[in-house]
Chains A and B, each alone.
Chain A
Amino acid sequence: AQSVTQPDIHITVSEGASLELRCNYSYGATPYLFWYVQSPGQGLQLLLKYFSGDTLVQGIKGFEAEFKRSQSSFNLRKPSVHWSDAAEYFCAVGPLGNEKLTFGTGTRLTIIP
């Protein structure tokens, strides 16, 4: 069965500092991988996705993620965070051609001045 682990429940980062949110997945074949962001009281917005090809994926709002098959990871990064990045971030995995996404439990990001 597919699964996703986001080991960090809550991360606090200073504005302007770099960010890395961790995501580890479990799936037997090549997965579809996603990062979504949820601002308070809002729905989920897609940040980026990985289906195949280049393992470094660029997304919206200056985010990027790197797929590392050997480590079963898909960590999200941003070189310099802004106060508006404060939100909850979810990693998700889905098998190729299958509609069932499995989400991690999320990482809440707090930005301090």
Chain B
Amino acid sequence: DAGITQSPRYKITETGRQVTLMCHQTWSHSYMFWYRQDLGHGLRLIYYSAAADITDKGEVPDGYVVSRSKTENFPLTLESATRSQTSVYFCASRGTSGSVQYFGPGTRLTVL
């Protein structure tokens, strides 16, 4: 499918487990982003990537790991999930020519 997709859409896990959220885009956009959305906080940037093999921290990076070996994929890993990481996670991408970010449908993650 064209556009930006996220998988899974819903995930329930337990404290201490490793979880990986996937993001895939078909536009060959250079930039990709991970946000978390929490009530009262809006969207906060976790990590972003300017190109394959280039990543940088956002506002709330602790407890998360990212990688970007291919332009189209940008997985987000919670190495040891905590209850405070219960949230809705959004992936976004944008090209180099403009600042408009296009968002995926989100992943709702619950950590028990």
Contacts and interface: CB of A to CB of B under 8 A. Distances in A.
B105 A94 contact: no
B99 A99 contact: yes
A101 B103 CA distance: 13
B31 A103 contact: no
B58 A100 contact: yes
Interface in B5-44: 31, 33, 35, 40-44
A56 interface: no
Contacts, number: 47
A34 interface: yes
A101 B101 contact: yes
A90 B106 contact: no
A100 B45 CA distance: 8
Contacts of A100: 45, 48, 58
Contact of A43 (B41, B48, B50, B105): B105
Which of B31, B33, B42 has the largest number of chain A CB atoms within 10 A? Answer: B42
Interface of A: 6, 32, 34, 36, 42-46, 49, 51, 90, 94, 98-101, 103-106
